[in-house]
Chain A
């Protein structure tokens, strides 16, 4: 009698302990997190430590592999996708289609993100596949001190930009620092042009192209993109453009040899490492009409593997990341914007310039997310080939058309 009562008391006590402190009853869980941003490593480790303090039974192990894309591909092929994996752009939707990541539609933490950032992970049917984390921008860095010295204003049209370049050249300053040896920088310059010129008036240009309603060769907007790119090429270190790499261009800007550089927010780290106190600003690439828009987009998105063994714990982590302090810490460390509403990182004076555009609504986003992947990777090389003069405008545009059709025919998204 007495013994049974005693046992019952002990059981009740243990149960109540478990209820009060759920962690005693829960098995320790380890989550694998894989993403590619090395700049933010320390900040993220701090966030993980905070998370562990709040949920002691969950440990998050982060890996930042080199050769990110093929690493993830290899893991996916053997069904070993990490619990939380970083994806972006077309890749994200490819994985969604192949049913390798989980749908997150309706998760409460998504409501903390800005609608703009959510577009990066929402497919055409409104289903959300990942949590957007950061935001970046691509525009024209410019040396404010040089501009001030020569009484130059931020150009808002191509005509104004032309005048700026003339003044700079007269004073022996190379207007644009061109790093075209690294073909991806060409893509950056092209993005600032086509995302505004082409996708501004025709946001669904990609679908139109797929239906055959438009072509590169027949598009006056794409012709304008080429004209703008030609202008930039002729107003920079033209003779050495294809031997200068990304770093050398940053040096050119930081040392004042050049006054402008077309790049994304990530270049800030490199420029500041050479001249930390430089008075740096950013403006949007002007158009041939008064309608300059800054390219603003979500880069890193975190998705959950479709067959993760710990879905609820993974969701807890994603929820944690959308808390204001965590989001702010991540973005301060990565030196990028946050996808979370109301979080405005203050890591650099240049953010003021960028937010001016965002607040005014003068932004456009990247549209190569739904380009065919084999087209996407060859696009910048075709433009590079055009820039060195191996093909004419018409030939280059036709080549883009042919590439697009081939990519579409091979069915590869």
Chain B
């Protein structure tokens, strides 16, 4: 039961609007979120900015303020630069496959002529609800032992491909795992986008005599463009942060061929014990991802205007 307390003038503000006091005091409700967010996100972010200007090794009690030395050293660090290259290769590969395959599957599954649609949806979506770390463990075995054994069963042992051992190939093998993991998610989003297309538009096209592919390319795809845009943004943002899969499956190897940017930062801090240097690299990563995401948003906005 609400308390009955004497209402003063200030509780009634303008008609329909809460009073000044209530509009301020209501912010008290936001305190828990603000407090925890500030302590565990904002403060570390600020402190990371500061640490990136030092040479702290994570262990010693004292450290030196080295200003921008970490940042310039990183630009000359071949391992850092190669990790950027690795990450970009991975992200491009993964995003292209996830969006393309997701689109194909979504288009197929949206058609009423396909049977067992709910089973198919479940099957493709299932890997998404599992932990990337847990999935990586199984795929390590598949790439390492199982595929070779399966090939030898049909006598093709010598054509066995070195999935994780070939430095040029390994990053793409990891990409396959990421695609397998996330494909269902993008398929579902695109499927939702397709079902959101008003059916009268599609019917109009059919009446005009459009066939399956014509319908798809001239009606569905253009209307789906914003959704495709969203999917690519999500996919790229996600794959640029790849850590668990390379961490568990190849530990960044062979050599440095699967050391992604996130893994480089982890290694720098916890293996090479250079916390300050790692923070600087992490800031570069932040800047990079922000730049890529903003660029994509700009492209999607522009494309949206055209249609």
The answer to A–B direct touch (Cβ < 8 A) is: yes
Q: Which residues of A are interface residues toward B (Cβ below 8 A)? A: 69-70, 73, 76-77, 94, 98, 180-183, 239-245, 248, 373-374, 377-378, 381-382, 384-390, 399, 402, 406-407, 410-412
Check if A98 sits within 8 Å of B163, measured CB to CB: no
Check if B162 sits within 8 Å of A412, measured CB to CB: no
Check if B272 sits within 8 Å of A378, measured CB to CB: yes
Within the complex, what minimum Cβ distance (angstroms) separates B166 from chain A? Answer: 7
Check if A377 sits within 8 Å of B267, measured CB to CB: yes
In the complex, whether B185 has a CB less than 8 A from a CB of chain A is no
A-B contact pairs, 8 of them (CB 8 A): A180-B254, A183-B251, A381-B252, A384-B253, A385-B254, A388-B165, A390-B257, A412-B273
In the complex, whether B60 has a CB less than 8 A from a CB of chain A is yes
By secondary structure, the B interface counts as loop
Q: A98-B60, A240-B162, A390-B167 are in contact. Are A373 and B273 (CB under 8 A)?
A: yes
Interface residues of B in 227-254 (CB under 8 A from A): 250-254
Residue of B nearest to A399 (CB): B78
Check if A243 sits within 8 Å of B253, measured CB to CB: no
Contact of A243 among B58, B144, B277 (CB under 8 A): B144
7 cross-chain pairs, A with B, having the tightest CB-CB distances, nearest first? A385-B255, A242-B165, A374-B272, A243-B165, A377-B271, A242-B254, A388-B167
Q: In whole angstroms, what is the CA distance A180 to B143 when docked?
A: 15
Residues of B within 8 A of A244 (CB): 144
Check if A239 sits within 8 Å of B162, measured CB to CB: yes
Check if B271 sits within 8 Å of A242, measured CB to CB: no
Residues of B within 8 A of A182 (CB): 251
Q: A70-B270, A240-B165, A241-B165 are in contact. Are A384 and B144 (CB under 8 A)?
A: no
Interface residues of B in 36-61 (CB under 8 A from A): 55, 57-61
Q: In whole angstroms, what is the CA distance A377 to B164 when docked?
A: 21
Residues of A within 8 A of B267 (CB): 377
Within the complex, what minimum Cβ distance (angstroms) separates A399 from chain B? Answer: 8
Check if B144 sits within 8 Å of A181, measured CB to CB: yes
Check if A381 sits within 8 Å of B59, measured CB to CB: no
Q: In whole angstroms, what is the CA distance A407 to B77 when docked?
A: 12
Q: In whole angstroms, what is the CA distance A245 to B255 when docked?
A: 15
Check if B251 sits within 8 Å of A412, measured CB to CB: no
Q: In whole angstroms, what is the CA distance A243 to B252 when docked?
A: 13
Check if B55 sits within 8 Å of A388, measured CB to CB: no
Within the complex, what minimum Cβ distance (angstroms) separates A90 from chain B? Answer: 10
Check if B163 sits within 8 Å of A385, measured CB to CB: no
Residue of A nearest to B59 (CB): A73
Q: A181-B164, A242-B165 are in contact. Are A381 and B255 (CB under 8 A)?
A: yes
Contact with A along B140-168 (1 / 0, CB 8 A): 00011100100000000000001111110
Check if A377 sits within 8 Å of B272, measured CB to CB: yes
Within the complex, what minimum Cβ distance (angstroms) separates A392 from chain B? Answer: 13
Residues of A within 8 A of B277 (CB): 410
Residues of B within 8 A of A77 (CB): 58-59
Within the complex, what minimum Cβ distance (angstroms) separates B222 from chain A? Answer: 44
| 12 extra A-B contacts, CB within 8 A, seeds A181-B254, A385-B254 | A70-B270, A73-B59, A77-B58, A183-B253, A242-B164, A377-B267, A378-B271, A384-B255, A387-B255, A389-B167, A410-B277, A412-B55
Residues of B within 8 A of A385 (CB): 167, 254-257
Check if A411 sits within 8 Å of B55, measured CB to CB: yes
Check if B255 sits within 8 Å of A388, measured CB to CB: yes
Number of A-B contacts (CB under 8 A): 96
Q: In whole angstroms, what is the CA distance A248 to B164 when docked?
A: 15
Residues of B within 8 A of A384 (CB): 253-255
Check if A412 sits within 8 Å of B272, measured CB to CB: yes
Residue of B nearest to A378 (CB): B272
Q: In whole angstroms, what is the CA distance A96 to B47 when docked?
A: 28
In the complex, whether B274 has a CB less than 8 A from a CB of chain A is yes
Contact of B59 among A76, A378, A399, A411 (CB under 8 A): A76
Residues of A within 8 A of B250 (CB): 181
Residues of B within 8 A of A240 (CB): 148, 162, 165
Residues of A within 8 A of B270 (CB): 69-70
Within the complex, what minimum Cβ distance (angstroms) separates A402 from chain B? Answer: 8
Check if B254 sits within 8 Å of A248, measured CB to CB: no
Residues of B within 8 A of A390 (CB): 167, 255, 257
Residues of B within 8 A of A245 (CB): 144
Check if A410 sits within 8 Å of B145, measured CB to CB: no
Q: In whole angstroms, what is the CA distance A252 to B160 when docked?
A: 19
Within the complex, what minimum Cβ distance (angstroms) separates A100 from chain B? Answer: 9
Check if A181 sits within 8 Å of B253, measured CB to CB: yes
Residue of B nearest to A380 (CB): B253
Q: A181-B164, A243-B162, A378-B272 are in contact. Are A248 and B145 (CB under 8 A)?
A: yes
Residue of B nearest to A386 (CB): B255
Interface residues of B in 67-87 (CB under 8 A from A): 73, 77-79
Residues of B within 8 A of A406 (CB): 73, 77
Check if B254 sits within 8 Å of A388, measured CB to CB: yes
Q: In whole angstroms, what is the CA distance A387 to B249 when docked?
A: 19
Q: In whole angstroms, what is the CA distance A378 to B256 when docked?
A: 10
Q: In whole angstroms, what is the CA distance A387 to B165 when docked?
A: 11
Q: In whole angstroms, what is the CA distance A73 to B56 when docked?
A: 13
Within the complex, what minimum Cβ distance (angstroms) separates A406 from chain B? Answer: 8
Q: In whole angstroms, what is the CA distance A378 to B277 when docked?
A: 15
Residue of A nearest to B60 (CB): A98
Check if A73 sits within 8 Å of B58, measured CB to CB: yes
Residues of A within 8 A of B273 (CB): 373-374, 412
Within the complex, what minimum Cβ distance (angstroms) separates B29 from chain A? Answer: 34
Residues of A within 8 A of B255 (CB): 381-382, 384-388, 390
Q: In whole angstroms, what is the CA distance A55 to B59 when docked?
A: 35
Within the complex, what minimum Cβ distance (angstroms) separates B42 from chain A? Answer: 22
Q: In whole angstroms, what is the CA distance A76 to B61 when docked?
A: 10
